[in-house]
Structure 1
Amino acid sequence: MRRLIYLIAVFSTTVLGDACWRDSHCTGPEQAAFPGPWDENNFAPTSRIVRPRDVFPLADPQNVLKYDAKNVALDKATPALLVDFGLEVGGLVTFNYTLSGSALTCGLAFTEAKDFIGTESDSPRGDGTIDGAVYAQLDERGNGSYSMPPAKLRGGFRYLTLFVNSTSNSSLAITDLALELSVQPTWSDLRAYQGYFHSDDALLNKIWYAGAWTLQTNTIPGDCGLRTPDGDGWDNVEVLTDAETVLVDGAKRDRFIWNGDMGHGGSECVSYHLWNLIGTYNYPLYSGDVDFVTEIWPKYVKGMNHSLSLLTESGIVNVTGEDDWGRFEYSTERCSASMLLYRALETGATIASWIPDLSIDTNYTQQYLAQAKTLRKSILREFWDESTGAFTDSPGSNLHPQDANAMALAYNVVTDTQADLVSEYLTSQWTLIGPAFPELPNNISPFISSIELEGHFRAGRPDRALELIRSLWGWYIQHENGTQSTVPEGYHVNGSWSYREERSYTKGQPYVSHAHGWGAGPTSTLTEYMVGLRVTKPAGSEWVLSPGVSDRGSFEAGFSTSLGRFSARIVVEDEEVTVGWDSPEGTVGIVQVPGRDSVIVRGGKGDLVASL
């Protein structure tokens, strides 16, 4: 979740334009901040109107018909066509047509994964209904045009099936089939990224941009949320906010401000509450908007006090609600909850240090740091298993989860010696396609694995982080049945889309989201930990460059904040590392490279070389 806020923040700047979604005002960037050869890796289309890459007869999907606006026809001999847009898209389909014969109904069915192509769509709804298809009733012979009703906007798909009744003698010639993209509604140029990443590893480059495009597909118009209709089908006309843009959980599914994050009713979710406290730190860190924090600080303190009230006599968190990120809950004293509270206290102390006026009556920096120190001692006493070199899920448990151990590394709960042990333990649970852990058996979670990525980087093992990126995210981005352009919610250890089938996902494989922002960890960690460039005070007034030095290779990245553009490059070759940077004037940075003393930088450009 921190990563989502980060990417949305660094991509923001205000301009005017005329190619935004419907009535949206164009408040997005007008051009890329860092144009370069890496733009060829950007999945975002050059226009909001996109057209198919390929068309196939549904009955013969190996027979590729390169899209030709004059050569798409449905009739008795070819009653169904599969349209491939080549990447994850979302929006409203339109086409012109010529109808020969009597009235005809043309169906439109959608799917993200190739496994579910056909005359019924995949499933963004979690209940017992089916999505079926959208039907265009074409009554007039001759030429005409069709536009999908706004309510039937499809939030996420790669494949579209067009079909007619196979017993009809009518013929439907379709021309100028197109899709109006609804993603990132206030951007006139969907490719105008305010950040970039590039390396000499083509797979890493592709994964970084897949995460970025995922975040764009998850950024939707404020009035295009999922409204659950009576019966089958779907409607995407729910007003989620009076703002023109809202970040949701997925492109196809969970198109609302997720009630686990923002809900006012239902069962309590302690971990999501803690994520919100942590997010309150991340937002001003990247945006520089400290006024927002000042405004909501009394509520923030109440939220922190509520979390602290959950501490037991042993000094660890007792989880009162039933929900979490999707894992099984084996105990109310889950280690991951205590890890999250530790992170919330540490970040809360940092927020208070940024804004002295918050601590006029109470020194929150001192208070939260003291409480974090006490909590850390309790965590190490109650959960650390020396025999395994990892944290248990609950006191006395034999289960060593991925979530708590990844957080222990990412949030610096451990000593250096323990960090080595935990990093090693986490790798012991890896499969060829990602980590499989006992808190959600037989499932692979890009969300928790994103935290693990940061953990390995912080433990000084960038080699392990890169290996994990290439195995988990590399497996998906190259999977012929996936979107090949986004990052997924999760999948089964057997390589199917049966994520969480034993944990409440009763609709099975068609329900899984293939564009889920919570799995976009490589997009931030490659920038912040492999290149090593990250901000440490609001908007980057202070920053650090501490690259992850691994094997030979070159990596570079950049991003923009309200203070200007930041970029850095690292090249490792011949037992030598070369680091270069460029930062806005007036900012202060610390450059940390193995083999050299730390260097304080006061804006501008620079470089240094160190022997390994």
Structure 2
Amino acid sequence: MKCSMLALLPLVVAAASNPWETFIHSPASRHVKPTAIHSKSENVTVFKHSNSENVLFMPACSQVSLDFGAEVGGWISLNVNTPSTSTPQLSLAFAESPSFVRAISDDTGSIATQDYDKALNVSVSQGSTWYRVPGERFRGGFRFLTIVARSHATVANITCEIGFATETKSLRKYAGYFYTPDTDQQTLNRAWYAGAYTVQTNIAPQNTGRFLPQVKDGWAYNNTIGVAGPLLVDGAKRDRAVWPGDLGIQGTTAFLAFGNDGLFAYKNSLETLFYYQNATTGRLPFAGPATGSFRSGAQSDTYHAWSLIAMHNYAIFTGDSEWLTLHWANITRGIEFITNALDTSYGLHTQTAPNDWARQGGGGYNSALNALDYRALSSLATLAQSWSKDAAILSNAAKWATAAARLKRSYNALLWDTKTCLFRDNQTTTLAPQDGNSLALLYNLTQSSAQATALSKALTTFWTPIGPVTPELPDTISPFISSVELLAHFAANEPGRALDLTKRLWKYLLDSPLMTGSTLAEGISANGSLYYRGNAGYKHDAAYTSLSHGWSTGPTQALSFRVAGLEIVGWKRWVFRPQSGGVESVRSGFESPLGV
């Protein structure tokens, strides 16, 4: 079914009619109190004030760890009464995971000793004082706060002033929703809302990026993330920066869950990529300016294509012709960067800038890169043909479509392995990657439904009880690439397999005692630990792994677009095409500038 977008139904429903609201983790207020005491020294006395506020009587060298009940982020304030003139009197430490509740914070800088950030020292005047952490000591993501008394102190009114999604008036009032009442499918509800809240914590004010070079010891979040704010960043705790690959997943989540507020942050992220586009080559940046990768001039062929895919998605979600007209020259230069890289022999792209999501291997006719290039070429060609009547634009679109068709033929001829029913990483290896195969399946590089079915089944050879171990980054389960795989199984008309994957990986990300219980982790090791990328840049520092990472939110998109079946698929075109996978009943909706 293909229809123009129209305002179909209002989303105003009586509060009692919204059973999905019980799954929302967003706080009701921007000033949040701890919900429980996680642990404390024996000599700490807790007095409950008449307003139910905890008052902590803390002797020197005592310690209290407080639990906010869910991931939060922002600025801590508290009242301190101390007879001491010693400096400092207190220290504050932050943790996302229960595993790192301690007197020092989890890490925003990766080093092997696992104690990069240490703690924030607090010095106050003698007597009664209200204290708020300095602005640059914004802590983007944490669930637990540990207070250590260096000298005797009474501490009360402990509050986190929420610092994410600053343009959103009511954090719990989502523009979109998903709900199934099926008793055996509640993981799906939990995954949808955890994905939504993860991305909400990743909607960052413009000047709260990680300061570079990083403060040692400690942290500072006062760097400019992009050209305007708020923006979508990759993680609440870190890196707090724009990454194009992440936008390929989290941009859609932001749109589905938060409507105009999500689109505003999405747009500002794309404007940042346009601003830093190379005017000569058309190459789009590997990352936003608040990253070491940007400072070092690192480039990425795959993330260039991810940028274009994110731009296509934003255009069709908004139907914003004015925005598209403004940036069509940028988009055209970006596509020409790809077409100029396609060789004359096969029409495939030889990977020369292999920076990516941390995967190993690559090079040659890399399957992930060429699948992303195919999607950028074909989707933007179709968009141009639907959107424009300009002869030059339509001529370019025809060329892009022709290039995409040739790429697809060569991709299958050179990379498909009939024995494994998987695509190889490139033409010189037998390695079959999770990313290249998931992208090929999702973006329709298969040539028949039988091939798609075989590829979907073959991907399960990577599965464990808690998710796929990716061959291109050994000992790793990537919720980013598994989000792509999740969508790919729906594309292959295998919804049961997709929901099986959801219940393996995302249930673990929600239920593991290592996690926040409200947001989705950046990645895990094959045994489920937080030593993600231990051997690949993170220096075996589990405290560095982000536990609120927008690229891990594929289920939010999959459940709305594929299970509920409501999806915008082109320029002012949508489909209603539910794929139940065993789900009996769903209520779902979202808001677009084109309608509800």
TM-score range, shorter chain: 0.7 to 0.9
RMSD of the alignment, in Å?
Answer: 2.6
Name 2:509's counterpart in structure 1. Answer: 476
Pairing of 1:249-288 with structure 2 (within 5 A): 249-258=234-243, 260-262=286-288, 266-288=297-319
| Distance across 1 between alignment mates of 2:47 and 2:463 | 40
Q: 1:442 to 1:70 in 2, by over 3 A?
A: closer
The AA in structure 2 aligned to 1:234 is W
What is the TM-score when the length of structure 1 is the normalising length? 0.82
Deviation at 1:174, TM superposition (A): 1.3
| Distance across 2 between alignment mates of 1:421 and 1:174 | 61
Equivalent of 1:186, from 164, 167, 174? 167
Name 2:271's counterpart in structure 1. Answer: none
Deviation at 1:124, TM superposition (A): 1.4
Equivalent of 2:372, from 340, 359, 368? 340
More displaced 10-residue stretch of structure 1: 394-403 or 353-362: 353-362
Deviation at 1:127, TM superposition (A): 6.1
- Report the 3-state secondary structure (helix = DSSP H, G, I; strand = E; otherwise coil) of the residue aligned with 2:107: coil
Equivalent of 1:356, from 373, 382, 388? 388
1:36 is the counterpart of 2:68: no
| Distance across 2 between alignment mates of 1:34 and 1:493 | 42
Note the alpha carbon deviations across 1:68-87, whole angstroms, 9 max, x for none.
524322214x7000111011
Deviation at 1:176, TM superposition (A): 1.1
1:529 is the counterpart of 2:562: yes
Which structure shows the bigger proportion of residues in strand conformation? Answer: 1
| Distance across 1 between alignment mates of 2:192 and 2:450 | 31
Deviation at 1:557, TM superposition (A): 1.1
The AA in structure 1 aligned to 2:481 is I
Note the alpha carbon deviations across 1:321-364, whole angstroms, 9 max, x for none.
13111100243321111111110111111221232244436523
Q: 1:275 to 1:191 in 2, by over 3 A?
A: same
Name 2:28's counterpart in structure 1. Answer: 46
Name 2:58's counterpart in structure 1. Answer: 74
1:207 is the counterpart of 2:233: no
1:55 is the counterpart of 2:88: no
Name 1:137's counterpart in structure 2. Answer: 123
Which structure shows the bigger proportion of residues in helix conformation? Answer: 2
| Distance across 1 between alignment mates of 2:14 and 2:330 | 37
| Distance across 2 between alignment mates of 1:227 and 1:38 | 38
Aligned pairs, number: 530
What is the TM-score when the length of structure 2 is the normalising length? 0.84
The AA in structure 1 aligned to 2:450 is T
Equivalent of 1:499, from 532, 537, 542? 532
Note the alpha carbon deviations across 1:137-185, whole angstroms, 9 max, x for none.
13413x22111110101001111110023xx4x2x12111110000101
Decide whether the 8 Å contact of 1:34 with 1:196 is kept in 2: no
Equivalent of 2:324, from 280, 293, 318? 293
The AA in structure 2 aligned to 1:83 is L
| Distance across 2 between alignment mates of 1:31 and 1:181 | 27
Name 2:103's counterpart in structure 1. Answer: 119
Equivalent of 1:93, from 67, 72, 76? 76
Note the alpha carbon deviations across 1:76-119, whole angstroms, 9 max, x for none.
4x700011101111000001122245545100001111111111
| Distance across 1 between alignment mates of 2:13 and 2:78 | 30
Deviation at 1:507, TM superposition (A): 5.4
Decide whether the 8 Å contact of 2:233 with 2:240 is kept in 1: yes
Identity of aligned residues (%): 34
Pairing of 1:547-586 with structure 2 (within 5 A): 547-551=578-582, 553-565=584-596
Name 1:431's counterpart in structure 2. Answer: 464
Name 2:263's counterpart in structure 1. Answer: none
Unaligned segments of structure 2, at least 5 residues = 1-6, 244-284
The AA in structure 1 aligned to 2:458 is Y
Decide whether the 8 Å contact of 1:30 with 1:188 is kept in 2: no
The AA in structure 2 aligned to 1:551 is G
Deviation at 1:493, TM superposition (A): 0.6
More displaced 10-residue stretch of structure 1: 256-265 or 497-506: 256-265
Note the alpha carbon deviations across 1:470-514, whole angstroms, 9 max, x for none.
110110101122110011110001111011111111251011111
Equivalent of 1:175, from 139, 146, 156? 156
Decide whether the 8 Å contact of 1:53 with 1:66 is kept in 2: no
The ranges of structure 1 where at least 4 consecutive aligned residues each deviate by more than 3 angstroms after the TM superposition are: 29-35, 56-61, 63-68, 100-104, 126-129, 261-265, 357-362
Equivalent of 1:220, from 194, 199, 204? 204
| Distance across 1 between alignment mates of 2:443 and 2:473 | 22
| Distance across 2 between alignment mates of 1:296 and 1:358 | 15
Pairing of 1:450-469 with structure 2 (within 5 A): 450-469=483-502
Name 1:303's counterpart in structure 2. Answer: 334
Name 2:254's counterpart in structure 1. Answer: none
Name 1:4's counterpart in structure 2. Answer: none
Decide whether the 8 Å contact of 1:184 with 1:216 is kept in 2: yes
